[in-house]
Amino acid sequence: MSETNTRMAPIVVDHPLVQHKLTRLRQASTSTAGFRRLTRELSLLLCYEATRDLPTEAVEIETPVESTTGRTLSGKKLCFISILRAGNGILDGMLDLVPAARVGHIGLYRDHDTLEAIEYYMKLPDDVAERDCIVVDPMLATGHSAAAAIDRVKAAGVTNIIFVCLLGAPEGMDYMAARHPDVKIVTCSIDRGLNEKGYIVPGLGDAGDRLFGTR
Ligand code: URA
């Protein structure tokens, strides 16, 4: 996860299980409980891919049978940062995989007149600058919220950031590449685009509403 000026190609996880679960997730007939369960499972699998390049070091251990050399994580500790509110749906699966990770939250809304992202909530761990961060939001639509959240994470001193989403639109991918070319994006799919209401198509609808049963 190094700082560079060239665009980092997004990682689309095309594993058959991921694509199967994503298809179930997209279906309008999937219940709230099913949507939550699938989001949790997909988030764990996306986190697995997002953490693929974490550094490890050799350690000598004793198994019940003999001494051996194993490998354990050796780099910075992790922090997951959820973009409210739908990002919270991604946290459970990621914490299943990395239970010791710290968690931050960023809440943003769009000013109708200026179209600027206004922060209404931000709480990051005190030591966030010493951690590698994975910023999460299920949907990368225009990319404006993700880029604004990442602005704030960088302003807090974080240098290594990965962005994880369930789905992205090409518009969001391009915007992120322009604003944060050093940030790797890990997703299950890059969909066709955005419709006139700003929804990703074919997409899965409003991820927050489907996660929390608010519609
Ligand atoms: N946010 C969502 O929840 N869904 C979309 O399709 C786009 C943004």
| Å from CA of 181 to ligand 1 middle | 22
* Best CA proximity match to 106, nearest among 161, 47, 171, 54: 161
Distance between CA atoms of residues 90 and 81, nearest Å: 10
The two three-digit tokens of residue 48, written as one number: 């697995």
pLDDT, residue 114, reads: 78
Predicted pLDDT at 103? 98
Is 151 labeled as catalytic in the residue annotation? Answer: no
Beta-carbon contacts of residue 155 (< 8 Å; ≥ 6 apart): none
Domain residue limits, the chain: 11-51+76-212
pLDDT at 40: 98
Dist. CA 200 → ligand 1 center (Å): 6
Residue 111: its pLDDT value, please? 81
CA dihedral 78, 98, 211, 11 (to 10 degrees): 70
* The pLDDT value given to residue 146: 97
Q: ipTM of the assembly?
A: 0.96
Which listed CATH number (4.10.910.10, 3.30.450.20, 3.10.50.40, 3.40.50.2020) goes with 11-51+76-212? 3.40.50.2020
Pocket test for ligand 1, best of 204, 211, 214 (most atoms within 8 A of CB): 204
Q: Is 159 a catalytic residue?
A: no
Mean pLDDT by 10 residues, the chain (215 residues): 67 98 98 98 98 97 98 96 97 98 95 84 98 98 96 98 98 97 98 96 98 92
Dihedrals phi, psi of 105, to nearest 5 degrees: -135, 140
Which one from 92, 151, 182, 206 is the annotated catalytic residue?
Answer: 206
Per the residue annotation, which of 110, 151, 159, 182 is the catalytic one?
A: 110
Please tell me the predicted confidence (pLDDT) of residue 3. 46
Choice from 199, 201, 210 to test ligand 1 binding pocket (greatest atom count within 8 A of CB): 199
Q: Write down the pLDDT at residue 5.
A: 55
**102 is a catalytic site residue:** no
